[in-house]
């Protein structure tokens, strides 16, 4: 058996070392034994072993070659895809009639990118159980009119039902991160949006990138006549609920704002 590889700071690796916390995370997955479990960034396999004990169909995606070699030796029956989750072909593990659940201890520096990639494939997913920086988790579940409410809040709440399950202290990791973490569950129970994902992202990001301005000013770059009789554009970005952003984007699509 090869020795456990050291963590790479460049990949934001912080590996779980507390057995009780590992069990708590695995038990939080709402899945049947035969469902497909996709683990993003298994690292040295702290969670992976417990997942293999609990589920019959586990696939892991790992970018670090050293960790991949370690996992192959440690868990010979593990199906391992040695690629970057942000660049790999998701059809390789979503091409199944089984419910698919994603689990991952996400590197803090690319949490948002991975989360948006998951949302892009939500129609083929049942749930995701993700560990991330506590501050980011709080932004995901934030309510309108709060300082935490923003782009992540709107997209997460329109595309899933997110819920923070519990916090995770730095002491259970090696090396310990400098921030607290949270485990958050996403249930993909929302229907198809009334607008396209692409146009929703455009409107939401435009609004929140100038969140101190009124929406009428923040959305000027759309170069269109805003439907002022239907929406209050004197408000700021944090005043609109996720559903209102969906309705606004759908109305702008009807008006041909994004044509051409």
Cite the annotated binding site for S-adenosyl-L-methionine by residue number.
Answer: 14, 16, 41, 62, 84, 105
Q: Are 147 and 203 in contact (CB under 8 A)?
A: no
In whole angstroms, what separates CA 60 from the centre of its chain? Answer: 16
Known binding site: residues?
14, 16, 41, 62, 84, 105
End-to-end CA distance of the chain: 59
- Three-class DSSP labels, the chain: CCCCCCCCHHHCCCEECCHHHHHHHHHCCCCCCCCEEEEECCCCCCCHHHHHHHCCEEEEECCCHHHHHHHHHHCCCCEEECCCCCCCCCHHHHCCCCCEEEEEECCHHHHHHHHHHHHHCHHHCCEEEEEEEHHHHHHHCCCCCCCCCCHHHHHHHHHCEEEEEEEECHHHEECCCCCCEEEEEEECCCCCCCCCHHHHHHHHHHHHHCCCCEHHHHCHHHCCCCCCCCCCCCCEHHHCCHHHHHHHHHHHHHCCCCCC
Strand partners of residue 181: 133, 168
């Amino acid at each position: 058996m090869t020795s456990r590889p050291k963590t790479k700071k460049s990949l934001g690796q912080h590996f779980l070392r507390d057995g009780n916390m590992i069990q708590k995370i695995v038990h939080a997955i709402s899945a049947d034994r035969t469902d497909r479990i996709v683990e993003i960034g298994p690292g040295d396999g702290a969670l992976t072993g417990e997942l293999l004990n609990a589920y019959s169909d586990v696939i892991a995606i790992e970018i670090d070659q050293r960790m991949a070699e370690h996992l192959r030796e440690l868990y010979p029956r593990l199906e391992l895809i040695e690629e970057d989750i942000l660049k790999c072909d998701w059809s390789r593990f979503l091409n199944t009639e089984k419910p698919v659940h994603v689990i991952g201890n996400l590197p803090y520096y690319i949490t948002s990118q991975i989360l948006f990639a998951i949302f892009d494939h939500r129609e083929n997913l049942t749930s995701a159980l993700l560990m991330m920086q506590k501050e980011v988790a709080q932004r995901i579940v934030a309510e309108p009119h709060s300082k935490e409410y923003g782009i992540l809040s709107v997209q997460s709440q329109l595309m899933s039902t997110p819920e923070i399950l519990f916090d995770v202290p730095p002491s259970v990791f090696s090396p310990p991160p400098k921030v607290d973490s949270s485990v958050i569950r996403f249930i993909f129970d929302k229907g198809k949006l009334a607008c396209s994902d692409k146009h929703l992202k455009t409107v939401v990001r435009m609004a929140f990138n100038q969140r101190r301005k009124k929406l009428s000013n923040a959305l000027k770059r759309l170069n269109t006549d805003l439907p002022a009789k239907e929406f209050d554009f004197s408000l700021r970005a944090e005043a609109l609920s996720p559903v209102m952003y969906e309705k606004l984007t759908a109305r702008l699509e009807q008006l041909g704002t994004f044509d051409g």
